[in-house]
Each structure stands twice: as structure tokens, then as C-alpha cells.
Amino acid sequence: MDCQMLSPAKKEFIEFMMGADVLRFGSFVTKSGRQTPYFVNTGNYKTGLQSSRLGEFYAALIQETVGDGFDAMFGPAYKGIPLAASAAGALARNYNIDKPFFFNRKEAKDHGEGGSIIGYKPADGDRIIIIEDVITAGTAIRETMPLLTSCADVKVTDMFISVNRCEVGQTPGKTAVMEVGEAFGIRVHALITVQDICEYLREQGTYGDILPLMEAYMAQYCVF
């Protein structure tokens, strides 16, 4: 299977993820129930430096694609919460784009301030961007959208993820990212794709046992 050329920036991000034990190789089961030879667990980011650097990667992509053309960013519980917070901080520090962020509770709170949304309170007409880790089968975004639209008459324009796994979703021949775009009108931007990971392994020349598994998995589940 052909893999695409790997840019220095993408190589840097892949090595950053591997150094944080976020990108792992082996045998895993995804949320969609697929057996996969690689796994991305952003819950393994656990130091201040890692969080700060991760936010810079996201902020650079946000600045490059949408700039300041949005009103707030949303981080879905749980893994999206620190991602949105770190991205918001990096946008303000590096690009002078100071935008609010908010996130949700898994279960609504019935005391104190109540509700399921914490942080910024969306208003009608707001343009919202979502900060997430990965999209595999699109399950999480389908759960997120009703939550956001129930807050106010908002428009979710873009979504930013670490890795586009390029995997088929619920419709044969279409990836979950394609389905999200068609169903909700959301543009999805990824720091890297599974093809980038494949090319990285090929360039390194030391992953002879993993590369064939990656290529077989891509042939079975991925759409390019």
C-alpha cells in the first residue's frame, strides 16, 4: 500500500506522541470493536510540558486553517477537556487569539450552578470548533452534536483532531470523517493521518513487524 510523503512537522508530532507513550504499537481494540495494530491514547499526556507542547501543535493548525474565525472551542469529556484548555492557552500565547473554551460533564449536575456545561456559555449565532483526539467510527461526535445544539442555536464549523485514522464509518466507502462532514457540515482537520504514521514506520526501517500489520489494517478498514 502506498504511503504519502512525511513532512518534518508531521514527523515531529509523531515522535512527540511516541515519546509521551500516546502513540503505541501492538494489539488493541478500538471503541468501534476493531482489532488494530496501533492505538492513540491522549490520556497518557500527563506533564505540564507535554500539555503545553500539545497545545502548540493544535494551535498552529487552528491558526493555519480558521485563524480567529470562531467564537469558542469545545472539548468533549473527558479527553477533549485538557486538549481544548491547552489549545486555548497556546492560541493566546503564540497568536494573540484569545478565545473562550467550554466542556461538558458526563452526567448533569443538579446542584450548585447545575447543568452539564462548564466554562463558556454558548449563545445563539456562535461559531464553535471542537477539539478532540481521534475519530474512529464517528460515535463520539454523534453524541456531542445534540449536546451543543441544545445549548443554543450554534454553528459547529470545524473539528480538530490529533489523528485521522481514515477508517470506514457506518456507510461503506466513506470514512467517519467524511460522514461527519456530510451529516453536520463540519470540516475536520487532523495533525496527522494513519498514512503519515505508516510512512514514518517505513522511513525508520526498524518496524518490520508492525508495518505489514499496519498495511493490512489499512487495506481492510481505511478509505483514502
> DSSP letters along 194-219, please?
HHHHHHHHHHH---TTTHHHHHHHHH
C-alpha–C-alpha distance, residues 100 and 89, integer Å:
10
C-alpha–C-alpha distance, residues 79 and 41, integer Å:
9
Cell numbers found for residue 190: 487532523
Choose, from 99, 111, 121, 155, the residue flagged as catalytic. Answer: 111
Contact (Cβ atoms closer than 8 angstroms) between residue 117 and residue 77: no
C-alpha–C-alpha distance, residues 210 and 25, integer Å:
7
109 is catalytic: yes
Contact (Cβ atoms closer than 8 angstroms) between residue 74 and residue 130: yes
CB contact set of 16 (below 8 Å; sequence gap of 6+): 53, 54, 57
Contact (Cβ atoms closer than 8 angstroms) between residue 179 and residue 169: yes
Choose, from 31, 46, 109, 121, the residue flagged as catalytic. Answer: 109
Q: At what angle do helices 48-65 and 8-19 cross, to 10 degrees?
A: 150
C-alpha–C-alpha distance, residues 217 and 34, integer Å:
10
Cell numbers found for residue 217: 489494517
Sign of the Cα torsion 75, 133, 68, 158 reads negative
Annotated catalytic sites, by residue?
109, 111
